[in-house]
Amino acid sequence: MRNLLLILVCVGLSTCSAVPTLLTQVLTLGELRVVTRNSPISHYVGVDGPMGPEYELARGLADAMGVRLTIYTPDSFDQTLDELVSRRAHIAAAGLSVTSARRRQVDFGPAYQTVRPQVIARSGGRQAGSVEDLVDARIEVIAGSSHAEVLLELRQAHPQLAWQPVQGAEVDELLYRLAAGDIDFTVVDSTEFIVARHIYPDLRVAFDLGEAEQVAWALSRQPGDHSLRERVNGYFAQIEAEGVLAGIFRRYLEPVQEYDYVSTRAFVNHFDSRLPMYRSYFVEAARETGQDWRLLAAVGYQESHWNPQAVSPTGVRGIMMLTQRTATALDVDDRVDPYQSIMGGARYLSMMRERIPERIDEPDRTWLALAAYNIGWGHLEDARILTEINDGNPDSWEDVRAHLPLLTQRKWYSRVRRGFARGWQPVHYVDNIQRYYSILQWMTASERWELPDEDDEAPQYEIYGSVGTAAGAP
């Protein structure tokens, strides 16, 4: 009898059983297993491999623990927590909102972001200003998402509210369906939409749905064992104190903060109509000069909107807008020839990059090189000197960016060698390229378009537990 009691006690308390703590399991395995999702602010596969804020955060923890990182996406977002419960993953880093239903299944690390769930509509499509307007509309949300939970709660006050949780879909696919007119509304996190609106300019926020939500990592749970949570808490405390956490999100979200409908529409159109003609040239130029083709394409877009006939009043020409002098120096004899222009521009940028002092790391190196490409090496040097005079760091793009506009003020430009320059110009220039580059990275990410083919079976819908298909959906 006493033995039985002991066994019963031990079943509930890992401390008196032989089960190692979760942290020990990770260390013994030598591997941190992280489940994530495919989204521009979580994780996606870029030209140099995986990227995205969640990926970088997970990478940081694995490195700090000295273990291998295995990061993967389940077939469907609603399987994310199952991966933790079944212990196939230790951590879910997937832009997860902390909800009471989820708390019953898993632990959470510290909140690192606040998001607002937003109802998204299509311009020219059905509009809504409040929950009442959603009744009888075709609404799809990601199955198992916090948005599905919020809708379920709202249904108590609005019994007619109906929606379809879609399995196997990501934010991007639902927005695609909304833009195509297949549905009337979807719900996504505000942070997701900050990026997505650059790809779907005809979509807009109808209204915020419910309260703001806290986003955190979900953690595998083992009774009486806080080891993993403590390690994760310690990690976040450290990267927060060091500014690393804010830096990661700034890097992904800042370039896309600025939004303007007309130029976004033009960009998306040109992505389809013009880029395909020149893409292989950008790829070749990138290979030859050791740069990312999407960065070169972003420069080309900022310069000419990928128009080989572009001419500016100052006489620069072609896709990469080379001056006659630069073209001659680079052996470009026909500036309006797209191939020659792209090759010349890529070489010129690479030359600028090589002139940047070796101690300066990426990405500052690239941004400083771009500023030099735009305003000229000498003026950039002057701006870096002014940065230093004002106790800024001349090797940091952020600091130089803040000081470049001083080149328009006599008080400042009189103190440097080359004098006056339109210093705000390279600021806008680099800001725009950063934005185009971010969007291009996501638009061309290898995982992004793994959507079902036209002929494939319709996506599966789980309608409050029962399973239907697109064809059967109302």
Is 15 exposed, middle or buried, given 0-12, 13-18 or 19+ CB atoms closer than 10 A?
Answer: exposed
* Alpha-carbon gap, residue 434 to 438, rounded angstroms: 6
Please, are residues 212 and 240 in contact by the beta-carbon 8 Å criterion? no
Closest approach of ligand GLU to the CB of residue 189, in Å:
4
Residue 284: CB minimum distance to ligand GLU, A: 37
Contact 94, 37 (CB under 8 A): yes
Nearer to ligand GLU, 215 or 295 (CB): 215
User: Please, which residue, 96 or 400, has the CB nearer to ligand GLU?
Assistant: 96
The whole-angstrom separation of Cα 427 and Cα 254 is 14
Cβ atoms of 145 and 189 within 8 Å: the answer is no
Q: Which of 303, 381, 388, 447 is catalytic?
A: 303
For 123, the token pair is 């311009």
Q: Identify whether the C-beta of residue 42 lies closer than 8 Å to the C-beta of residue 98.
A: no
Spacing of C-alpha 19 from chain mean position:
38
Residue among 147 and 384 whose Cβ is closer to ligand GLU: 147
The nearest distance, CB 442 to ligand GLU, in angstroms, is 15
Please report how close the Cβ of residue 301 comes to ligand GLU at its closest, in angstroms: 28
- Closest contact distance (angstroms) between CB of 75 and ligand GLU is 16
What secondary structure does DSSP assign to 166-222, as a single string?
Answer: ETT--HHHHHHHHHTTS-SEEEEEHHHHHHHTTT-TTEEEEEE-SS-EEE--EE--B
Q: How far is CA 457 from the centre of its chain?
A: 29
C-alpha to C-alpha distance for 149 and 30, rounded to whole angstroms: 36
172 or 292: CB nearest ligand GLU: 172
Shortest distance (Å) from residue 391 CB to ligand GLU: 40
C-alpha 385/C-alpha 362 separation (Å) is 20
- One DSSP character per residue, 59-81 reads HHHHHHHT-EEEEE--SSGGGHH
Which residue in 292, 296, 294, 293 sits closest to 345, CA to CA? Answer: 296
Query: Which SS3 state, helix, strand or coil, does residue 465 take?
Result: coil
For residue 95, the minimal CB distance to ligand GLU (Å) is 5
Instruction: Decide if 160 contacts 168 (C-beta within 8 A).
Output: no
Tokens of 190: 């505000």
Helix, strand or coil for residue 462?
A: strand
Sites of contact with ligand GLU (CB under 6 A): 95-97, 142, 145-147, 171, 188-189, 192
Confirm whether 450 is a catalytic residue: no
Cα→Cα distances 188→79, 164, 207, Å: 18, 14, 11
Decide whether 80 or 291 has the Cβ nearer to ligand GLU. Answer: 80
Q: What residues are labeled active site?
A: 303
